[in-house]
Amino acid sequence: MADKVILLDFWPSPFGVRARIALREKGVEFEYREENLRDKSPLLLQMNPVYKKIPVLIHNGKPVCESMNVVQYIDEVWSDKNPILPSDPYQRAQARFWVDFVDTKLYEPADKIWQTKGEEQETAKKEYIEALKILESELGDKPYFGGDTFGFVDIAMTGYYSWFEASEKLANFSIEPECPTLMASAKRCLQRESVVKSLHDSEKILAFAYKIRKIYCV
């Protein structure tokens, strides 16, 4: 019996896009189902009753939740094409460490950049750039965090890369002068076929960001 793969997602999500990219890197056919996060579907609530969040990958009726957990699951199930995590145990551990750093150190300041203003926003921008500089140091002169291959950390970061332009315009700052090597890798990632097919136009993301900003009355 053929695999039935459904992805519950929300189009601008920097976390949902990770699952989309991983599935396309592996060449997996899947059914995309857009969620309204203000009126969550019964299926989402059934498949992720703990967090009630996207993305949720439903593989032959069984749910897998949390974006990078989904990515790792995809890598392990469809292991015959385009490995996402390295085979070496130490390198795998390092990749997981940096993904944890990405979501621990980038998410909060990124969120505050487009939800706050004034001194709070300036602090968020500073924290964001500081975290990006640490990531740039880890990247070094490699084309990708995975070395010569697009991998686990790159997929985690691409969700943030997709929001770089919107963040810069909303908060009036520029990432490239501070992190030129990281930006070069970001542009490389954003040109991959799996990424191009998974992302929406940057102007659409910017319009969504402005809409969210109005909700927060800033």
**What pLDDT does 210 receive?**
85
| pTM for the structure as a whole | 0.95
Q: What is the pLDDT of residues 10-33, one digit of tens each?
A: 999 999 999 999 999 999 999 999
**Which pair of tokens denotes residue 45?**
């609530």
| 5 pLDDT above the threshold of 60 | yes
The C-alpha angle 210, 22, 108, rounded to 5 degrees, equals 40
**What pLDDT does 217 receive?**
59
Q: What does the buried/exposed string (b/e) look like for 147-180 if buried means 16 or more CB atoms within 10 Å of the residue's CB?
A: eeebbbbbbbbbbbbbbbebbbebbebebeeebe
**What pLDDT does 43 receive?**
98
| 63 pLDDT above the threshold of 60 | yes
CA distance 121 to 143: 31
